[in-house]
């Protein structure tokens, strides 16, 4: 009897909350889903309504909330209660076999990934999986790991990281098309150039702290982009630089179709661009591993510890004789260098660079990946990059949604919504990111992860 | 400057806008002694500290530090981090400033930053993992262990610093300052908020630091702590020195008593007059 009335109570509550969610969704999506602007035949901007689509959004929100409150939440509570009754601790130090060896599995999987995709979907199908998913995600992993040094370790909020990516890409594009240097010379050079830019920008900028630092770095990111647009003599402005040479197999084989030492011909393979993509995949994988290795090594060096100490308390650092200006500059320069490597790789992969690739949105996405992954954690950031970048790629694949939302529906357009949703979900359930704890860099008896509740975010 | 003086503050003045926080303050701290700087709330003790340790640039005055190797440094001319790096002055803070997300051991390793940076060839040689650097790392861990032992924190070495109880955090902050290898240790209210047992442990720690030849300059509120451990006491009130001498001397100084008990100025004169009369009898 009592349980029936409790059940009724719960259903009533769920109905109320579902309705409430529906109303909120209606108000929220009214303007940016319910109304669409487009250009008509006379190039005038007119608008039309999309009540059907809006209705779907509202229904999804309302039903989702209803189901959550009525069924999912009671179920979760029950499970927790049962666990508590059995006396099992919620937090257990014992990790499963898979979790303990997660990194090894992940690395092996990445190493065989291109061949796996070749086996499963064939050459033509693999283009998408190796290039759009593999390479694209790994570029963001590398960028986010580079930014992680600045934001996650040293605690300097940098909103203009894409500037260094641009410096790397344009260094490669300009030097290779003007002087014909090869990829393997320009890769380190681009990194060095980006690091130099990091130091040059860092000198004036790093006197500022917190919000002020964030705003000035944002401005510098935009300045670089505007210079690229307006310095047309060198950068060709918005037209961009095309025909950037491809990377070569250490100068032994080329991937240009006309070349005599063409890789495909040399090995007697059938012509396909997949070989070049697989080659690029392994380059970016190696670059990512380099970034991870250097980050892990640096964290255990005095400079890395000083970065983390700087994030925790800058004043205490100064009282211990740490030169905070040079320490910040090294963090900035190291992060910039990896951005430059990624930029050079990006230029050679695209064969084309233009200022459009280096807008503020890119900086924001990279920063979002770092924050979602858990500042300072390489594993968490890699997962976040896979989810965020892979997620947007998967959206492109979701053409079946057209059946639900109508033939005009383009899922890619909703990727920012996905970003927002992912952010909210992670911040609700994992406020410190996917991996919130930090690994200590030295220990006497045993290495115990430091809970995220003790670490600070830094104030610039 | 006499031979056994380590720190000499002359005519120090610090102005914040219209407020004269410190007014023509001079004192000396001797090598191998515990010098206490006391005074009522708002007397300017922490301001003096911040001037000495480079967090403020004094409006006027000269702060001279004598290193053991005979070099004399003018602290007000050094940049904030150089006071520790070049001058060998370490400090703690009134509101504890630990690296709370780093472990206790890491806190002590960060303190050895400059020595380790040199040993790692400013990171470049260290990345290659040369044996010289590895030896320096082992040494730094030994040093950290030594101070962990002294501060009674060995059991908690692998815990985050933010997880320690208050008294342990105070001791860790002192241990961290000592890991920089200072000649002068400045402590800002080290006994604040400690219970009597922790307070006693702190006294032992401070005595053992002094016995290693490190001079200590401390700010303290609690007269009983000051009287027990310090060799020399300087009393500050409203930014000016009102007394200077041994604990016994200061304890019986009518001006100090007046400052602490909060009597009017004319009553101080009365007290002095009484004392003088008493002396005559």
Q: What is the mean pLDDT of residues B47-65?
A: 86
- Whether chain A has a CB inside 8 Å of the CB on B55: the answer is yes
Q: What is the pLDDT of residue A259?
A: 67
CATH of A102-429, one of 1.10.10, 3.40.1390, 3.40.1000, 1.10.3470: 1.10.3470
- CA pair distance B2, B30, nearest whole angstrom: 9
Q: What is the pLDDT of residue B271?
A: 59
Q: What is the pLDDT of residue A132?
A: 80
Q: What is the mean pLDDT of residues A30-51?
A: 82
The CATH code that applies to domain B1-88+182-281 is 3.40.50.300
Q: Where are the domains of chain A?
A: 2-86, 102-429
Burial category of B223 from C-beta neighbours within 10 Å (exposed 0-12, middle 13-18, buried 19 and up): middle
Q: What is the mean pLDDT of residues A79-106?
A: 70
For B212, the 3-state DSSP assignment is coil
For A144-193, the pLDDT digits (tens) are: 999 999 998 888 888 989 999 999 999 999 888 888 788 888 889 999 99
CB distance B158–A451 less than 8 Å?
no
**What is the DSSP-derived secondary structure letter of residue A290?**
H
Q: Which residues of A touch B55 (CB under 8 A)?
A: 315, 318-319
In chain B, pLDDT over 70 holds for what percent of residues? 90
Q: What is the pLDDT of residue A148?
A: 92
User: Of the segments A111-120, A326-335, B137-146, B153-162, which one has the largest average pLDDT value?
Assistant: A326-335
Under the banding of pLDDT at 50, 70 and 90, the label for residue A95 is low
- CA pair distance B1, B66, nearest whole angstrom: 9
CB B191 within 8 A of CB B222: yes
CB distance B127–A448 less than 8 Å?
no
Neighbours of B234 (CB within 10 A): 25
Q: What is the ipTM of this complex?
A: 0.84
Instruction: Kindly give the pairing relationship between strand A241-242 and strand A352-353.
Output: antiparallel
Mean of pLDDT over chain A: 83
The pair of three-digit structure tokens given for residue A65, joined into one six-digit string: 């909330």
Number of helices and strands in chain A (H, E): 19, 4
For B235-279, the pLDDT digits (tens) are: 888 888 888 888 888 878 888 777 776 665 566 566 566 666 655
Q: Give the one of A302, A308, A319 whose C-beta lies nearest to B116's C-beta.
A: A302
Q: What is the mean pLDDT of residues A383-391?
A: 86
Q: What is the pLDDT of residue B278?
A: 58
What stretches of A342-460 adopt beta strand conformation (E)?
Answer: 352-353
Q: Where are the domains of chain B?
A: 1-88+182-281, 99-181
Backbone angles phi, psi at B232, to 5 degrees: -150, 135
In chain A, pLDDT over 90 holds for what percent of residues? 18
- CA pair distance A61, A69, nearest whole angstrom: 12
Residue A279 has pLDDT above 90, yes or no: no
Q: What is the mean pLDDT of residues A396-409?
A: 70
Q: Which residues of A touch B103 (CB under 8 A)?
A: 440, 442-443, 448, 450
> Which residue of chain A comes nearest to B96, CA vs CA?
A316
For A267, the 3-state DSSP assignment is coil
């Amino acid at each position: 009897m009592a349980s029936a009335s409790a059940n009724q109570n719960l259903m009533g509550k769920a109905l109320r909350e579902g309705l409430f969610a529906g109303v909120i969704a209606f108000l929220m999506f009214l303007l940016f889903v319910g109304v669409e602007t487009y250009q008509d035949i006379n190039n005038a901007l007119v608008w039309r309504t999309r009540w059907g689509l809006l209705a779907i959004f509202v229904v999804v929100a309302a039903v989702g909330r209803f189901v959550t409150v009525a069924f999912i939440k009671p179920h979760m509570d029950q499970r927790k209660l049962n666990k508590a009754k059995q006396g099992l601790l919620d937090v257990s130090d014992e990790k499963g076999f898979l979790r303990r060896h997660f990194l090894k599995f992940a690395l092996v999987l990445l190493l065989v990934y291109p061949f796996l995709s070749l086996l499963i979907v064939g050459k033509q199908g693999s283009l998408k999986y190796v290039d759009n998913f593999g390479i694209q995600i790994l570029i963001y992993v590398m960028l986010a790991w580079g930014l992680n040094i600045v934001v996650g370790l040293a605690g300097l909020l940098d909103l203009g990281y894409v500037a260094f990516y641009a410096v790397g890409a344009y260094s490669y594009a300009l030097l290779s098309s003007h002087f014909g240097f090869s990829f393997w010379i320009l890769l380190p050079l681009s990194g060095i150039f980006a690091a130099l830019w990091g130091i040059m920008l860092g000198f004036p900028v790093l006197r500022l702290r917190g919000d002020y630092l964030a705003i000035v770095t944002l401005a510098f990111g935009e300045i670089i982009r505007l210079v690229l647009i307006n310095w047309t003599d060198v950068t060709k402005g918005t037209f961009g630089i095309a025909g950037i040479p491809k990377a070569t197999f250490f100068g032994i084989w080329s991937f240009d179709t006309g070349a005599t030492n063409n890789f495909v011909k040399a090995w007697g393979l059938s012509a396909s661009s997949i070989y070049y993509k697989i080659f690029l995949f392994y380059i970016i994988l190696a670059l990512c591993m380099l970034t991870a290795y250097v980050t892990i090594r640096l964290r255990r060096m005095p400079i890395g510890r000083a970065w983390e100490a700087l994030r925790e308390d800058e004043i205490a650092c100064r009282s211990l004789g740490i030169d905070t200006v040079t320490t910040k500059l090294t963090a900035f320069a190291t992060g910039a260098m990896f951005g430059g490597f990624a930029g050079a790789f990006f230029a050679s992969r695209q064969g084309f660079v233009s200022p459009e690739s280096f807008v503020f949105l890119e900086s924001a996405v990279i920063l979002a990946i770092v924050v979602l992954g858990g500042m300072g954690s390489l594993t968490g950031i890699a997962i976040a990059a896979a989810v965020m970048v892979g997620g947007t790629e998967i959206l492109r694949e979701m053409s079946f949604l057209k059946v639900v939302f109508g033939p005009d529906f383009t899922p890619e357009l909703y990727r920012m919504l996905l970003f927002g949703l992912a952010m909210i979900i992670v911040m609700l359930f994992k406020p410190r990111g996917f991996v919130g704890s930090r690994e200590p860099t030295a220990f006497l008896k045993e290495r115990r992860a430091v809970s995220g509740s003790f670490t600070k975010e830094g104030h610039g | 400057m006499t031979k056994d003086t380590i720190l000499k503050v002359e005519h120090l003045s610090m102005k914040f806008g219209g407020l004269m926080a410190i007014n023509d303050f001079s004192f000396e701290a001797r090598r191998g002694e515990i010098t206490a700087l006391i005074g009522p709330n708002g007397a300017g003790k922490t301001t003096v500290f911040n001037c000495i340790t480079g967090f403020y640039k004094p409006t006027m005055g000269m702060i001279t530090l004598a290193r053991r190797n005979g070099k004399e440094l003018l602290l007000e001319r050094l940049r904030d981090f150089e006071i520790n790096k070049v001058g060998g002055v370490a400090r703690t803070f009134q509101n504890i400033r630990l690296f709370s997300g780093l472990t206790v051991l890491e806190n002590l390793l960060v303190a050895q930053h400059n020595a380790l940076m040199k040993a790692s060839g400013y990171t470049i040689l260290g990345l290659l993992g040369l044996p010289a650097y590895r030896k320096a790392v082992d040494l730094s861990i030994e040093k950290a262990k030594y101070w962990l032992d002294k501060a009674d924190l060995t059991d908690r070495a692998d815990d985050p610093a933010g997880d320690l109880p208050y008294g342990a955090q105070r001791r860790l902050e002192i241990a961290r300052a000592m890991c920089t290898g200072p000649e002068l240790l400045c402590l800002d209210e080290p006994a604040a908020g400690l219970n009597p047992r922790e307070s006693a442990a702190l006294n032992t720690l401070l005595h053992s630091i002094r016995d290693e030849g490190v001079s200590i300059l401390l700010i303290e509120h609690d007269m009983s702590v000051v009287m027990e451990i310090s060799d020399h006491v300087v009393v500050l009130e409203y930014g000016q020195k009102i007394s200077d001498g041994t604990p016994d001397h200061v304890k019986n100084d009518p001006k100090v008593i007046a400052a602490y008990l909060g009597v009017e100025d004319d009553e101080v004169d009365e007290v002095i007059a009484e004392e003088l009369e008493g002396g005559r009898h």
